[in-house]
Structure 1
Amino acid sequence: MSPSPRAVALAVVLALGLLVADWPVIVVLAVALATATVVDARAARRPVTVSRQVPGRLARGVPAALTVTVGDAGARRVEVRQPRVPDVDVEPGTGAGGLEATVVARRRGHHELPPVAVRVTGPLGLGRWDREHGGRHVLEVHPDLPAARRLATAVRQARFRDPGLRRRGAIGLGTDFDQVREHQPDDDIRHVNWAVTVRQGRLMTNQYREDTERDVVALVDCGRLMAAPVPGRPGGSPDRTRLDVAVDAAAALAAVADAVGDRCGALAYDDEVRARVLPRRSSGDDVVRALHAVEPRPVDSDAERAFRAVGTTKRALVVVLTDVVDAAAARALLDAVPVLARRHVVVVASCTDVEVEAAAAGDDERALVAARVLAGRDRAVAEIRRRGAIVVEAPPDRFSAAVVAVYLDAKSAARL
């Protein structure tokens, strides 16, 4: 319980009244004010019903509604405040009689919203009570799933460049067994199933279906280089890390693979394997759940260990989502790429640094430094290509679409 600003102001007025009025009158008024404040505070103490609605799952950077409703207030005035936590914005944070706010999570992972703070002021406006309502609410923040789903929808509706939906497989018959059926005159004699023929007493043959499903594996680097903050566009303030951009691309890759019927897997690594999803159909949700909470660690990544853990013997598209700074920083990656490229199609994808590129366009000393940084990156990219990998570079806001485009190009060209 606490007095309201109105009660404090009246008490100050009574104190000043001692200068112009008889003190017995002031004492009577002071007792009346104290009594009214206590009575008002007791009225404010009566409980109110408070309900908070906020989604348990959010997408990073995507606004969601937060609503706090108050009941049984009567003539009392109720103020509601939702305390903030780091990396989660709530606007507005306070409201009268309830709260209609927008919550935006700036980082992936798990965050906890504190209980709602409620201040109830009595009908006279003299006394009030502060209390908390509800427990802590856990927010599970995923990558930018709406953007991933938009890409998948564009592919499904053939609005994306080369949707990769054509049923084109490798030259020759597929190797996926379908069923055993009775032999037809034009069937290949090499496909006769002699064991079943003996049991059935008539000629039976194996039927195969064309193998059109492809394996796609996203390798997400979680090492120290991926902790660097990047702006979404030139001139903007950094609002994500390189790892955030990589996880968004992995989610988009999985969503598109689901749309075109391919098997998608994922692996997060630094100097060890942090999370893993083996390639399988309709794995988009599994990929998101495995990657949504990974954070960069201050260690050098071991690309060779990650490549050994890819987990598929079938030829696959392996997309390494990492940061290419220069040849020295990418040495472990350069040494590991040829081993993986012997069996799989390897794509090394890295988002460009829009701030460095903007600085290189100037004519001051910063431009010279930025030009040297970009030259070192170009040398590393050329070396990666020479060792058998495809390199994708794009700004953060177009990075996911660029990765998806390379995947669909490889699929439509039957490179998988």
Structure 2
Amino acid sequence: MSPSPRAVVLAVALALALLVVPWPLVLVAAVAALAATTVDAVAARAPLRVRRTVPARLARGVPAGLSVLVEGAGARRVRVRQPRLPDLWCEPAEGDGGLDAEVVAHRRGHHLLPPVVARATGPLGLARWDHRVTGPAEVDVDPDLPAARRLASAVRQARFRDPGLRRRGAVGLGTDFDRLRDYQPDDDVRHVNWVATARRGRPTTNVYREDTERDVVALVDLGRLMAAPVRPPGAADAVTRLDVAIDAAAALAAVADAVGDRCGTVAFDDEVRARVRPRRASGAAVVRALHALEPRPVDSDPEVAFRAVGTTKRALVVVLTDLVDPAAAAALLDAVPVLVRRHAVVVASCTDADLEADVAPDADGTAPDPDAARRRVVATRVLDARDRARAEITRRGATVVEARPERFSAAVVAAYLDAKAAARL
């Protein structure tokens, strides 16, 4: 219990009244004020019925509704407050008589949303009582699944020329002959069957069965470098490289589900920490395996993950890692040649806008200050090392994909579709 501002003002007024009013009258008024405050405190202390509604699962970075409903307040004035966490941000955090807000998760994993606190002020406005009216709420935060579904939907829609009308063609180059049909203007001329054209007297093309049931494996690095923050342009909060990588893995699995391929994942640092074998419709399994993983302060060993992939069937292996550190790039360079003998390999890493900004020339042409000059030297060295690692990985047979955090998932999916279209898996 605590006195309200009105009670404090009343106490100050009674103290000043002693200067002009006989003290017996002030004493009577003080006793009456104390009695009123006591009655008000008893009323403010009466239990409240508060119900909080919040989704049990959230997607990272996607706002969701949070509501707090207060019942049984009577004549009391009630102000509710939802405490914020760095990883779970609520806006607005306070409201009179209830709360209608949005909660945004900035980190994946399992979180506890703190209890709601309600401050009840008595009918006379003299006393207040703070109630902790709910328990903590368990919230699981998934990767950015809406973005993954949008990419999968875009890929699915790209297979049609007109919505609901005529099919545009397969995603990927079919290799198994299916049937013959009349040539259409948008058909690939390489598929024209000239023997059948001569026999039938009209242009005829081969139709191939769409390439499906291909294996795609996302290798997610959980080493120390993946804990580094990156800030997408225009974003108020930074995210970790691991958050960006897991978003890309979720998008890759969603698109593989959409085109009929099998997707799996291996999460690793110096050991394998999670694994999902490639199978059909595995998007949900991939998200469940990855959504609560966090990086550890150890150096990653890509060879451990490559051994987990195996060599029994050719697959597209997408390594989601960071190329900034030369030592980590050296370990990857040593392991890549073993994998490219059997599989198509893509090494994907998100770029850092802050580093690129540090090496950009000043717009006004003035000389940078000493701190900016030192940052430029360090950033230049880091980016040069990254360029050397990228060139060496490409020389050893893998494809390198780099993109800003906000475009990273789309770039990884594009590399997958390009490999599928070129029949590399």
Q: What one-letter code is carried by the residue in structure 2 that aligns with 1:305?
A: V
Separation in 2 of the partners of 1:37 and 1:10? Answer: 10
Aligned to 1:414: 423
Q: Which residue of 2 aligns with 1:255?
A: 254
Aligned to 1:2: 2
User: C-alpha distance in 2, partners of 1:314/1:367?
Assistant: 46
Letter in 2 for 1:395: R
For residues 164 and 244 of structure 1, what CA distance do their matches in structure 2 show?
A: 34
TM-score, normalised with respect to structure 2: 0.84
Q: Check conservation: 2:172, 2:423, Cα contact below 8 A.
A: no
* 1:121 lines up with 2:130 in the alignment: no
The aligned counterpart of 1:33 is 33
> C-alpha separation between the residues in 1 aligned to 2:265 and 2:121?
54
Q: How many residues align?
A: 379
Question: In the aligned structure 2, how far is the partner of 1:129 from the partner of 1:65?
Answer: 27
1:373 matched to 2:382: yes
* 1:289 matched to 2:288: yes
CA deviation profile, 1:280-333 (whole Å, cap 9, x unmatched) = 111111111111111111111010011111257221111000011255431111
Give the SS at the match of 2:132. strand
Quick one: distance in 1 between partners of 2:303 and 2:60? 30
Q: Using the alignment, how far apart are the partners of 1:21 and 1:164 within structure 2?
A: 95
Give the drift of 1:107. Answer: 1.2
Q: Secondary structure at the match of 1:309?
A: helix
Tell me if the contact between 1:326 and 1:379 (Cα under 8 Å) persists in the aligned partners.
no
Code of the residue aligned with 1:279 in structure 2: it is: P
The answer to whether the 8 Å contact 2:112/2:137 transfers is: yes
Gaps of 5+ in 1: 174-208
In 1, Cα distance between the equivalents of 2:160 and 2:381? 36
Give the whole-Å Cα distance in 2 for the aligned partners of 1:326 and 1:124. Answer: 65
In structure 1, the partner of 2:337 is 338
2:396 is equivalent to residue 397 of structure 1: no
Write out aligned runs for 1:211-250 (5 A).
212-233=212-233, 239-250=238-249
CA distance in structure 1 between the partners assigned to 2:241 and 2:212 by the alignment: 33
Alignment partners' CA distance in 2, 1:70 and 1:91:
18
The answer for the alignment partner of 1:315 in structure 2 is: 314
Matched, 1:22 2:53: no
CA RMSD of aligned residues (A): 2.2
Letter in 1 for 2:151: L
* Cα separation, 1, equivalents of 2:32 and 2:351: 71
Structure 2 CA distance for partners of 1:15 and 1:237, relative to 1, 3 Å: closer
- Residue 237 and residue 82 in structure 1: after superposition, are their counterparts in 2 closer, same or farther (change >3 A)? closer
Q: Is the 8 A contact 1:242 1:351 kept in 2?
A: yes
Cα distance change on mapping 1:3 and 1:402 into 2, 3 Å: same
Question: Does the 8 A contact of 1:164 with 1:408 survive in 2?
Answer: no
* Aligned-residue offset at 1:128: 2.4
Q: C-alpha deviations, 1:137-164, integer Å up to 9, x for none?
A: 1111111111111111111111899x98
**1:379–1:397: structure 2 CA closer, same or farther, 3 Å change rule?**
same
Q: Higher mean Cα deviation, 114-123 or 363-372?
A: 363-372
Distance 2:384 2:15 in 1: 76
Q: Is the 8 A contact 1:327 1:379 kept in 2?
A: no
> Unaligned stretches of 5+ in structure 2?
162-167, 179-208, 363-367
Which is worse superposed, 22-31 or 372-381?
A: 372-381
1:99 — aligned with what?
99
Deviations 1:195-214 (A, max 9, x none): xxxxxxxxxxxxxx986211
Query: CA 1:227 to 1:340, structure 2 compared with 1: closer, same or farther past 3 Å?
Result: same
Tell me, what secondary structure is at the counterpart of 1:36? helix
